[in-house]
Structure 1
């Protein structure tokens, strides 16, 4: 596998169009899933994933096999996302998990939503809420949690991606897990059946606030490469986030990247 990966990257770095396309195929969805968890927004994640992929392709000739291609690409992606100027709404106002919990309680209806597409909209609320919850962490805590407990990378690889020591990474991850765990255990009825919040009782408020569009659910209808994962341990914060489907980069953005690769504006193909 390592030899095949090295051979593929070598051909891509030399400007082989088929090899470049294969590298894109291998990395586009993982980079998109990383961007989506970090930005919390589909449109921003599409933009970020495209930029990350182009940066990866533009630096392929610097890859020396010091890590797997995907791990190396994550490092480029994480660096880009940690320095992204655009902030999510939660980041922009400095929303804490306590503030977020207060907003959830204020918008909680007495009864479950029973309107049209109740199951789809309840799922949309859950997926949107868990994305927003991540945005209440600092970017450093968020990426540590996403790499370790959502994408399940080992501490050595995650630390290499973040360019910190494994001990520092584990400390950062534990801080993020502790904060999310306390929030979910106290608040989320998915993670803890004894907690007070229920997705089905948040639908009306989410629609009224414009957080979800009942005519066009975003995450519940998002293209995915696999069925939604089951949550075996609902008390585990990571299980709630891992329960998202394996989202795939939307076809329109895939086509846009392909057009860039086959245009005269991409330098690798001019060699």
Structure 2
């Protein structure tokens, strides 16, 4: 259970929520800052583009704050937050990636026609590690867009975030049995696609991130001067070893492990500035009325 410590006094997240509901602005700020990163990462995986994820996260946080009095403690607070988030994400108008209406068949065709003829040399791979990381994260997140919204959320919650079936079903407001069916179908689709297309999961496949870089840059999908996913040079350097470990796993576990290897996405500075402005308006709980 999450704990926050201030001046030697330890509070669980649920304690902070109770204080926030009673009108404590400091507790409210603590609660919001505790869950903001979880919300942003969920939104990013669901929507693909950081700007869309930022916009959705703002809407979700406002819903969390304005609905805080409706939290009754029947589930854990984070599960309740995920329920608010999932409801918001399922009802959003289509964002930029969804407007393309990607299917696995279209994605496979795009991959087949977007490979350069030669692999990068070892020296080039060292120099372009961040570009390779950008392509890897962007491509694997885009695969999720081939799932419809309910199956995409089921996969993110159950397979990537590893919430249990009860928590995930609660977040999606469906029965555990229905959730298990949705997760099983989504898992099978993602695993089948990666096993047959992705060279990271199956070395026998032709597709390699290093063979996608030049095409991605040419098509404007990757801007070397403005990377939107690859922000950690250290993570990029570590990935070759991580990939070795992923390939040692049983085949059915590799796809989830690849997603879990993504570095935690940090919300952009503009989101932090927006959040601080929102919290500055909280002392009188005006948004909670």
Q: Provide structure 2 residue ranges, at least 5 long, that are not aligned to the other structure.
A: 3-10
- Secondary structure of the residue aligned to 1:233 is helix
Tell me the equivalent position of 2:177: 167
Q: For 2:115, what is the secondary structure of its paired residue?
A: coil
DSSP-derived class of the 1:102 partner: helix
1:141-160 aligned at under 5 Å gives the runs 141-160=151-170
The answer as to 2:278 corresponding to 1:260 is: yes
1:190 equivalent to 2:200? Answer yes
Q: Corresponding residue for 2:28?
A: 20
Structure 1: distance between partners of 2:133 and 2:189:
24
Are 1:111 and 2:115 an aligned pair?
Answer: no
* Partners of 1:14 and 1:268 within 8 A in 2: no
Distance 1:156 1:116, change over 3 A: closer
Corresponding residue number in structure 2 for 1:200: 210
Query: Taking structure 1 as the reference length, what is the TM-score of the superposition?
Result: 0.91
- CA deviations on 1:101-145 (whole Å, 9 max, x unpaired) are 110110100112448942111111001001111111101110000
Aligned counterpart in structure 2 of residue 94 of structure 1, from 101, 107, 117: 101
* 1:72-115 residue CA offsets vs partner (Å, 9 max, x unmatched): 100000110011103233x2232211110110110100112448
Distance, in Å, in 1 between the alignment partners of 2:201 and 2:284 is 46
Q: CA deviation at 1:14?
A: 2.5
Question: Structure 2-normalised TM-score?
Answer: 0.86
2:66–2:287 contact (8 Å) kept in structure 1: no
Give the unaligned 5+ runs of structure 1.
none
Q: Which of 228, 233, 237 is equivalent to 2:246?
A: 233
From 225, 231, 253, the equivalent of 1:215 is 225
Aligned to 1:181: 191
Structure 1 residues 118, 223: CA separation in 2 closer, same or farther (over 3 Å shift)? closer
- Report the RMSD for the aligned CA atoms in angstroms: 2.6
Residue 263 of structure 2 is aligned with which of 245, 248, 268? 245
Q: Could you tell which deviates more after superposition, 152-161 or 227-236?
A: 227-236
